[in-house]
Amino acid sequence: SQLGRGFTVIRYSEKGETDFGMGVIALGSKPFKPFQISKTSKVALENNRTEVHQGQQEYIGGFEITDDDQALYFTAALDGAPAVDVFVLAKGAGDQMLQQYVTNPGPAALPMQPLLDNVVTQGQPWKGYLPLPKGIYYLIVDNASGVGQTNPPQVAGDDRAAKLDYLVQVGERQ
């Protein structure tokens, strides 16, 4: 059933198995999930795709760590752009960066050293693991020059959007 505009909840069985999807999901359909998850003790928080155009950033989360012996696990695959930066910031710094991004033109600068600073390259799937203390965290995808390690080519009329499939899970530390 549709809860409200832009968000659909799908109930699969009497056992209460449910799924969530953005937009209206046609009856009998399932939301798109880029990664198949086999049996695991980790909980999937997000299994989705985002498209980040040149000069833009995407803020994903917040992801809650409820116990000091937990970690966030990441899987990502990139298409379209040669590479993008991915960062993890605690909620306070993430909120500050998001506010800057929304109120000022261009990409937002990192307000502090990120907890994770990595590059995802086209054609090379990436897996990451980040043990964290209790708190709420953002995953930030950056397809802009001057913020992270990558510098997308600036060619007039050429907007190489980064299509990033990503999976974020929470689980016990390794």
Sequence-ordered strand ranges (E) for the chain: 2-4, 7-11, 18-22, 43-52, 56-65, 70-79, 83-90, 116-121, 126-131, 135-143, 162-172
Tell me, yes or no, whether 76 and 161 share the same domain: yes
Please write the tens of the pLDDT for every residue from 39-86: 889 999 999 999 999 999 999 999 999 999 999 999 999 999 999 999
Which residue type occupies 64?
E
Q: Residue 17: which domain range? A: 1-31
- The model carries a pTM of 0.86
Residue 1 has pLDDT above 60, yes or no: no
What's the confidence (pLDDT) of residue 67? 96
Supply 172's token pair: 């016990």
What's the confidence (pLDDT) of residue 22? 67
Please write the tens of the pLDDT for every residue from 15-26: 767 777 767 777
Half-sphere exposure of 157 (CA within 13 A, CB side): 0
Select from 82, 143, 150 the least CA-distant residue to 108. 143
Tell me, yes or no, whether 96 and 132 share the same domain: yes
Tell me, yes or no, whether 115 and 75 share the same domain: yes
Please write the tens of the pLDDT for every residue from 131-150: 999 999 999 999 999 899 99
How far, in Å, CA of 129 to CA of 154, rounded?
Answer: 32
Tell me, yes or no, whether 140 and 153 share the same domain: yes
Instruction: Give the CATH number, domain containing residue 151.
Output: 2.60.120.680
